[in-house]
Amino acid sequence: MSTIHERRRAYRKLHESSGTHVLPNPWNVGTARYLEHLGFKALSTTSAGIAFSDGFPDTDWAVPRNVMLQHIREIVEATDLPVVADFESGYANEPEDVARNVRMCIETGIAGILIEDSTPDHQRPFYPLELAVDRIKAARQAIDASGTGVVLTAGVDRLLDNHEEPLPGIINRVTAYLEAGAEAVHVPGVVDPADITTLVKAVAPHPVGIVIDPASGLTVKNYSELGVRWLSSGSGMCRAAWGGFIRAAEEVATRGSFTSLQEAVPFSQINQFFRDDLKHGRKRKD
């Protein structure tokens, strides 16, 4: 097993490198182990995946902070890869409380942390810019005081509760967050290649991360040509798994048939993967 310090150094090296990296999103120990097996260089938790697996909606702070921290810790401990924590909006409004929660998240062993600027108030999609900047400054100070080198990413979701933020507004926000101490930006909802190019140029040389748009048909190579550093699947892999489960369950419930289960991955394939995983000494911590 690599140490936490080694993983943090590895992630910072990726952060400072050129090129495009895929940052897939496991939602539990098993999915983290399988993604590591496929050769990815780092992982990110998914607030939606964790929420859905525990029966919560993916709305700000619906999952209790300590439950989220425990999930993050389990994923960190399940893999040798650096893990970035999708920490929503820091589970607090005021900067000093964000700083306290960031310190708690750092203690899980993460290599990076994403703090968003969306609020729990559906009538007000984003925190006022001055407060949002102070929140990023507080997170930056907490990380610096920890001496861990955890990478701080600021997130702005372009699409929130039927609100679409114009691109100039997004750029104004992320620029302010970079000046406040963020080291990268993450902007879900920006899918048009021209908009992605504009965003990348506006914040250069800072890395830009986006959530991929499956409908676009773009590949990793295409995103690399646009200058994107980090590609996230967001809740996509989790929802793909839910899609298979829902189709099979609804067929049994509504039609009394089981044909959807024929599409399931063979038991032997999954079981053999985890048998091999155990042989290599990868045991879940109690």
- Who's near 143: CB < 8 A, 6+ residues apart? 102, 106, 113, 150, 152
**Per-domain boundaries in the chain:** 4-235
Tell me the whole-structure pTM to 2 decimals. Answer: 0.94
Question: What does the pLDDT profile of the chain (286 residues) look like in tens digits?
Answer: 789 999 999 999 999 998 999 999 999 999 999 999 999 999 999 999 999 999 999 887 889 999 999 999 999 999 999 999 999 999 999 999 999 999 999 999 999 999 999 887 666 789 999 999 999 999 999 999 999 999 999 999 887 766 788 999 999 999 999 999 999 999 999 999 999 999 999 999 999 999 999 999 999 999 999 999 999 999 999 999 999 999 999 999 999 999 999 999 999 999 999 999 888 766 555 4
DSSP at 118: B
Which CATH code is given to the segment(s) 4-235?
A: 3.20.20.60
DSSP at 126: B
